[in-house]
Structure formats: structure tokens, C-alpha cells
């Protein structure tokens, strides 16, 4: 059995013993642990053939998608580090992040076409950094050449990939707003996340039958707990669709229809759901844990949730 020393080992271990178990859900799209393992192995080989070397940074221009999680794992298996990009940010800000990250390659989905087009038009993407297409056969950006697309994965072996990295190597870089307004990258090692995820899954007794929410975007650090904590336990990660992100009623419907056992959100989300009164008394019967962090949760809001969900535990992370 795979020894857990790198973040992608969580999904690998599950694939070794439970390849048909569901790892990811987004709407009608399902991805099993076996499918995640095989696709990320193929991507790692493709990245290496495309010139990526150990320690390279790879920028991910993609929203929260199963293919983005495949990309994160493929980058890790290629001994590289991923840099999630907020594709809703203004192009000048993203340009600063890309300059700071100094990537060896960019992985982008069609949802980032407008942003990439602006960067290309401004000269920030001049062809010196190759661009690969995620989750699609092509990228609709006029004049921007791409090195490969998702369809090229089929040309590569899905067998396990040999890696050189260890726990003290860089896993990813998350960019904050920066106190001066200039984005600053926080360099996070595999061991940093491994220690936290190991503690958290033990503390909350996360199990294979759990159905965990994936609410924050990939450039937000809470997402690493959702993703890797779920995979350590062999549970299911249910990604919140973008269409529900800011609509209280849809978020409540999502918790119900997904039969979530864990809901993890920022206090502002819990506050606007409380104000909209979308959580009913004894709602979400399968929900066991409500978690939050990132800002202050007003006490009246917490009371609102606790009164309606007496069967849940509540934890400020």
C-alpha cells in the first residue's frame, strides 16, 4: 500500500483498494478514485513530455471542476507545484501573480478564455510560457497557441508514475491580496497540508461514508482541507456548483439533495443563509458537522443554525 508522503498519495491509496468508489461529484459529473488516479497519471506523463521539470510551478487557470482536481494531482505527480488562479480577478492582478509565480506552464480551461485573451492582448502571455488545455479539446482564444489539450491524455499510460519529491517539497502556492495590495504567494509544502489533514480527519472521525462539501474556490486555502481530507478518508467530495454559490436557497437545496454529512463554509455564507431563513428546523437529516473559519461568525447567526440543526456539531476552525 502506498506510503502517504505527498498529497496525491491519498487518492492513490483509495484507488488501490476502492477504485470504483466515487471521489468527486459536480452536478451530473462523477469521478471515481480509479478514474482520478489514471487521468492524473496520464497528465503527469504529458507534463513531463511537455518540458516540465521537478520544482516547476504550473498555473491553473480553471474554476472548481473535477478536471481541475485531476490537474492538481497530475502536477504533483510530475514533481511540480500548482498555483491556482482566480479567473474572476482583473487581468492586471492576475498578470502580477503569473509574473511572481514564474510558471513553467499554464493549464487552462475554456472558462478562462476571456481572461487569457486579455493577458494575451496586453502582451503578458507572449508564447514564452506554454499553455495546455484542461477539460476540453481546444481553447477559444484568438492568436494564442496551445501546447496540448485534454484529448492528448489518451496517448499516455495510466500506470503509476515515479516521483522524486518528498514531504518537504513545495506542493502549491496560494496568493493572498497582500497588505500593500500587491499579491503575495504563500509557499506551502506537502507536509504542511498532510499534518493538518491528518489531525482534522482524526478529530472529526471522517469516514468512507461521508459526503463532504467543496464550497470554496481552489485558490482559497479552505479548499485543500475539503479535497485532501475527503480523499484521506476515502469519502465523496461534492463540489458546490457556481450557480449556487451566492444564492441561499440553492445552497440549502444543495446540502439536502447531496445528502451532505459535512458542510464547511465561511461565516458570510452562513450569515446570508440565516438571513434568508433557508435552513428549516431539523433540516438536512444526514448532516453531522458544520464547520467555518476565515472571519468572525456573529453569535446570533450561530444560534440560528444550532437551533435548527440540533443533531449537528459546530466547530470554528
Q: What is the pLDDT along the chain (317 residues), one digit of tens a residue?
A: 899 999 999 999 999 999 999 999 999 999 999 999 999 999 999 999 999 999 999 999 999 999 999 999 999 999 999 999 999 999 999 999 999 999 999 999 999 999 999 999 999 998 899 999 999 999 999 999 999 999 999 999 999 999 999 999 999 999 987 667 789 999 999 999 999 999 999 999 999 999 999 999 999 988 999 999 999 999 999 999 989 988 999 999 999 999 999 999 999 999 999 999 999 999 999 999 999 998 999 999 999 999 999 999 999 99
| Predicted pLDDT of residue 180 | 74
The domain segmentation of the chain, as residue ranges, is 33-189, 191-316
As assigned by CATH, the class of the 191-316 domain is: alpha beta
Task: State phi, psi for 121 to the nearest 5 degrees.
Answer: -65, -30
The two domains 33-189 and 191-316 share their CATH topology (first three levels equal): yes
Architecture of domain 33-189: 3-Layer(aba) Sandwich (3.40)
Pairing of strands 105-108, 131-133: parallel
Using the structure block, give the residue that is written with the C-alpha cell 504529458: 46
- Name the nearest CA neighbour of 113 among 146, 74, 80: 146
Cα–Cα distance between 163 and 27 in angstroms, integer? 33
Cα–Cα distance between 195 and 198 in angstroms, integer? 5
Contact 179, 45 (CB under 8 A): no
How far, in whole angstroms, is CA 312 from its chain's centroid?
25
Using the structure block, give the residue that is written with the C-alpha cell 481552489: 218
Contact 2, 9 (CB under 8 A): yes
| Predicted pLDDT of residue 127 | 86
Using the structure block, give the residue that is written with the C-alpha cell 433540516: 283
| Torsion sign over Cα 157, 234, 221, 3 | negative
Amino acid at each position: 500500500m502506498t506510503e502517504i508522503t505527498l498529497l496525491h498519495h491519498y487518492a492513490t491509496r483509495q484507488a488501490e483498494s476502492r477504485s470504483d468508489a466515487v471521489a468527486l461529484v459536480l452536478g451530473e459529473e462523477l469521478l471515481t478514485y480509479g478514474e482520478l488516479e489514471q487521468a492524473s497519471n496520464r497528465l503527469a506523463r504529458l507534463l513531463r513530455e511537455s518540458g516540465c521539470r521537478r520544482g516547476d510551478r504550473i498555473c491553473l487557470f480553471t474554476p472548481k471542476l473535477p478536471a481541475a482536481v485531476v490537474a492538481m494531482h497530475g502536477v504533483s505527480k510530475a514533481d511540480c507545484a500548482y498555483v491556482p488562479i482566480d479567473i474572476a480577478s482583473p487581468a492586471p492582478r492576475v498578470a502580477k501573480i503569473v509574473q511572481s509565480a514564474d510558471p513553467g506552464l499554464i493549464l487552462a480551461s475554456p472558462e478562462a478564455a476571456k481572461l487569457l485573451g486579455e493577458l494575451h492582448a496586453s502582451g503578458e502571455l507572449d508564447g514564452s510560457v506554454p499553455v495546455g488545455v484542461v477539460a476540453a479539446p481546444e481553447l477559444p482564444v484568438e492568436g494564442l497557441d496551445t501546447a496540448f489539450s485534454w484529448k492528448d491524455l489518451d496517448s499516455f499510460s495510466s500506470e503509476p508514475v515515479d516521483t522524486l519529491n518528498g514531504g518537504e517539497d513545495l506542493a502549491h502556492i496560494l496568493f493572498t491580496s497582500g497588505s500593500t495590495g500587491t499579491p503575495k504567494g504563500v509557499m506551502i509544502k506537502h507536509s504542511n497540508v498532510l499534518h493538518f489533514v491528518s489531525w482534522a480527519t482524526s478529530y472529526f472521525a471522517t469516514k468512507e461514508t461521508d459526503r463532504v462539501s467543496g464550497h470554496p474556490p481552489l485558490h482559497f486555502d479552505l479548499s485543500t482541507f475539503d479535497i485532501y481530507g475527503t480523499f484521506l478518508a476515502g469519502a465523496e467530495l461534492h463540489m458546490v456548483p457556481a450557480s449556487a454559490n451566492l444564492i441561499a436557497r440553492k445552497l440549502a437545496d444543495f446540502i439536502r439533495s447531496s445528502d451532505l454529512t459535512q458542510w464547511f463554509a465561511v461565516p458570510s455564507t452562513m450569515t446570508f443563509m440565516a438571513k434568508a431563513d433557508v435552513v428549516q428546523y431539523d433540516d438536512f437529516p444526514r448532516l453531522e458537522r458544520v464547520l467555518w473559519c476565515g472571519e468572525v461568525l456573529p453569535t446570533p447567526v450561530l444560534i440560528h443554525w444550532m437551533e435548527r440543526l440540533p443533531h449537528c456539531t459546530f466547530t470554528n476552525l
